[in-house]
Structure 1
């Protein structure tokens, strides 16, 4: 019998190796708006949205002052941060625009809309919202039809104007 993971299983948090903890806290807390929950000595911090114990762990245990991992190597492609609504994604995108923070891409995937960027350690970050499930495009066989089309960034920005 094939085992299938339970339907309500979620990925609870990501823990990232960073070179400079304060620089990472400035990005994730000051720019993206996460809240610092606690620190673990001077080398690790745990941050969250909504008071959860942590959505993101940041540490310098093996990476203090280290260069970013090579782009063409095995490892984490990106951390995806799911916003509750398109309006919330718009506000986050506006904050990036106002801070002149560079983005690396923006896509409409049919099931979701996403903004891509890198954190200060060049870890990929996806900021996105999911469309309601009943709006997800489907193939003729009923499976989900995901795609990558350009995202209308001006329309997204207008939501938070």
Structure 2
């Protein structure tokens, strides 16, 4: 049985994840994916073992390193670890353009879904880390159930409509 926790204030509304740092097997290969396929800017290369990439001039959204993983293999399915890193695009058109870049690179999608609150596509980076590309619908368009709670869904994504924007 889990003991009761003392009442603490919730995390502040403005809290967000600032960056993700991944262990990769091949730094150049990983840089090529995040820079050339997803379009992030290479902000800094930190010696032969690490790099930092971002969008929009931020110091870094993603860090990559080979310090403990040079030449390594992805963890087998069924083990704990990162499920995916999600990249939030400002508009549906921006998401469509990102998907066009992924397709042009010959990368297959693992899946796509309309979650009601967002539209999302799923793929893997060269180290088999999950990657989600998505955009959020405006908050006033999010589906709400009869109880007033947010109601996320897992419906098919209108790929034809999305790609028409690219």
Return the TM-score normalized by structure 1.
0.97
What's 1:55 paired with?
Answer: 61
Larger radius of gyration: 2
Q: Show structure 1 runs of 4+ deviating over 2 A.
A: none
**What is the count of residue pairs matched by the alignment?**
160
Unaligned runs of 5+ in 1: none
Unaligned runs of 5+ in 2: 1-6
Map Cα deviations across residues 33-73 of structure 1 (whole Å, 9 max, x no partner).
00000111110000000111100000000000001111210
Confirm whether residue 9 of structure 1 aligns to residue 15 of structure 2.
yes
Q: What is the 5 A alignment of 1:51-90?
A: 51-90=57-96
Map Cα deviations across residues 68-107 of structure 1 (whole Å, 9 max, x no partner).
1112100110000000000000001111122221110000
**Equivalents in 1 of 2:105, 2:139: separation in Å?**
33
Q: What is the 5 A alignment of 1:91-110?
A: 91-110=97-116
Return the TM-score normalized by structure 2.
0.94
